[in-house]
Amino acid sequence: MKVVLDTNVLVSALIKSGKPRELIFKLAKKNIRVVTSKNILEEFIKITDDPRIRRYVGEDDTITFLRAIGSIANIIKVRSKFNVIKEDPDDDMVLRTAHDGKADYIISGDKHLLSLGEFKEIKIVTVSRMLNIIETVRE
């Protein structure tokens, strides 16, 4: 199984304990491959550099988190150029990453992505839904 984590899930997992962080641990424990891209990582770095996020975590925490993600992730080069989400074109980067990385799931809290439900046979689910799906995966 391969999954793409939307930037909002990554940021949530970084700044507080809860379901997004629990998901990261379970993905690692179950050896589920995370697919990401330079674009997603750049957006993550940009967001975590915001002073509103820096109130919760410092640069060292962010670097440690990125190293942990890097240990379970495959960083792919995105070649797709399609545009799907007119309301928020930045969300297309997540779809392109999942498509080019041959992911089975996109995990997101973004309403534009979640409203699709599925894209080119890639299921788009919430963190809670993915946690339920993971429970059925053998270690």
Task: Judge whether 108 lies within some domain.
Answer: yes
Instruction: Inform me whether the pLDDT recorded for 16 exceeds 90.
Output: no
Please provide the DSSP assignment of 13-56 as one string: HHHS-SHHHHHHHHHHHTTPEEEEEHHHHHHHHHHHTSHHHHTT
Share of the chain above pLDDT 70, in %: 99
CATH number at residue 92: 3.40.50.1010
Q: Is 62 within a domain? A: yes
* Encoded amino acid at 31, one letter: N
Average pLDDT over the chain, rounded to whole? 92
Q: How many domains does the chain have?
A: 1
pLDDT digits (tens, 9 = 90+) for 115-131: 999 999 999 999 999 99
Task: Determine, yes or no, domain membership for 139.
Answer: no
Q: Which domain holds residue 11?
A: 2-134
Residue 2 is predicted with a pLDDT of 96
- Note the pLDDT tens digit of each residue in 85-94: 878 778 899 9
* Residue 124 to residues 19, 60, 137, Cα–Cα distance (Å): 17, 31, 18
The whole-number average pLDDT for the span 24-35 is: 91
Q: Is 38 contained in some domain?
A: yes
137: tokens are 């995966």
- Give the whole-angstrom CA distance, residue 51 versus residue 40: 19
**Residue 74 domain flag:** yes
3-state helix, strand, coil in the chain (%, to 5): 55, 15, 30
